[in-house]
Structures are given as structure tokens and as C-alpha cells.
Copies of this chain bind each other. A is one copy, B any other.
Amino acid sequence: MEQILLGKPVAKQLDKNSELLINAYKDKKGVQPLLTAITVGENPASLLYVSRKQDKAKELGVDFNWLKLPNDSTPIEVLEQIEATKKISQGIIVQLPLPVHLDFEEIVNLIPPELDVDGLTTHNLGYLYSKNYKILPATSLAVLELIKYYDIKTEDKNIVIAGRSRLVSSPLSKLLSSKQFNGNVTVVHSKTSDLKSYTQQADILISAIGKSRLFNIDYLKKGSVAIDIGISNVDNKNYGDINPKGLEEHLIARSPFPGGVGPITVSALFANLAQLIK
């Protein structure tokens, strides 16, 4: 019977650690740390994500500064906001998705690396090549925390990661291959014609492709672990990348969608903030 790897207890444990560090900061500085979130325009997904972060900030004792910029803001206007708040903020995020006229990479690199709680600036991504990395991209961190919490062994395992995004899968493949996790990591992607030939060998499959229920039982090795971090919308319903049908007796563990990695991501962001103010 597969174990269902729920995100909530992982998030709870992360929050507990973050609270200790946040309280220590408060005791030392006499004020709560401040997280600044910038949204550009009125994208409903962006507003929803930020409101969740706002709720978590309140819960953990972090002041939250939500800067809502107009949809037609230029990079220079975003920079002006960052410059105006960076001295009073302990962390800054720019929420995705951005309006199409703004290049995410250009915008995120306006954030000083030492305030980059999302871990997505070029500078902080470069630290993934270091033994001494400080801040991991928040969603990658969420996956790693899930793996650690449920004591999933990665050393010498065949790990297949479907996807190669800057935000999640690419940093994750680097980290799982590092000396900390020692996985034998394969990255497959949209140009991989024979996905099965890779996924059927995987002791751990991590999918971040965003294709509704692409990976069914035929793709998955008996006795393996599957971690679903994809999300796609079909007929106004959201789906993960993994089709759970028949997996109960096939996998040993699976992080489901929803309820798996998702609930950990916001907590991972605050775990990064807690690291930065330590």
C-alpha cells in the first residue's frame, strides 16, 4: 500500500523552525522582520499566491508589505520600489506570473541577493554550484524538505526529474545530484520522445511538467516513489502530472496533487526568510 506523502506536516515542522528564528530576531531587534511582496497588475493567480503568503506572514509574526504596482509598470519603476524598500525589508519577492512585457529574469535580478527569499536571482542560483549555498529556490526547497521529512533515501537511487525550469526542476536536479543527496539524476523534458524508457527505471520520479495526469502506472516502476509538482488546468479543474489510478499497490510512496508539495512552498519561502535573518 503506497504511503501518501502529505505536505501539511512538513510545512508545520518548517514553520516551527522559522518561528524560533523569527522570534529570536524580534527579541534582538525589538521589531518583527518585514517581507515585501511586489505584484504587477491584477493577475488573479498572482494575487491569490500573495494573499496566502500574507496569511502565513501574520501566522509567523512577520510584517508584510504588499506593493501593488500598475499593470504597465516598467522595470525602472519596479526597481524604484525595490530601492525604496530594500533598507527596511528583510526579504523581497516579486510574484509570478508577471505581465508579458516584463522579463522575469531581468526583474528578479533587481532584488539584492541577500533579500532574495525566493532564491531565484542569478547570483543565488550560481550558489547551487557551491558547497556553501545559503538560499534555495523555495519550491526546490519544499521538495527536498518533503524528501527529508519522510526519510526517502536518495543516495545512489535512480532519480528522474521531468522538467527543466529555472524555478523548480533545474535547481532540484542540481541539488539531488550533489554530495548532500548523491542521487543518480536524469533530467527529461518536452523533447524527450521515449519518456517511459527513463521513468520506468526511476526509483524516484519527480514531475514538474504540467501535463494533466501524464504519468500513469505504465510509466512508473513497481515499488518506486513519485513526487508530483506539476499543475495544469483542464476545463477549469486543476490536475497534477501523475495519474493515481491503480498506484495504491504499485508505488511505495507518492506525494499527491493537491496536498503534497503545494502546501510546503509558502512555508519554504518563510524558511528562507528565517535563514536570511539568522
Contacts and interface: CB of A to CB of B under 8 A. Distances in A.
Interface string A179-206: 1001011111101110000100000000
Contact of A170 (B129, B132, B186, B191): B129
A150 interface: no
A221 interface: no
A127 B166 CA distance: 10
Interface residues of A, number: 35
Contacts of A193: 156
A129 B131 CA distance: 18
A155 B188 CA distance: 11
Contact of A123 (B122, B131, B192): B122
Nearest to A170: B129
Contacts of A198: 184
Given A122-B123, A186-B185, A178 B164 contact: yes
A174 interface: yes
A186 B184 contact: yes
Interface string A142-169: 0000000000000110000000101000
A127 B122 contact: yes
A125 to B, nearest CB: 4
Contacts of A182: 189, 191
A184 B185 CA distance: 11
B122 A130 contact: yes
Interface string A83-107: 0000000000000000000000100
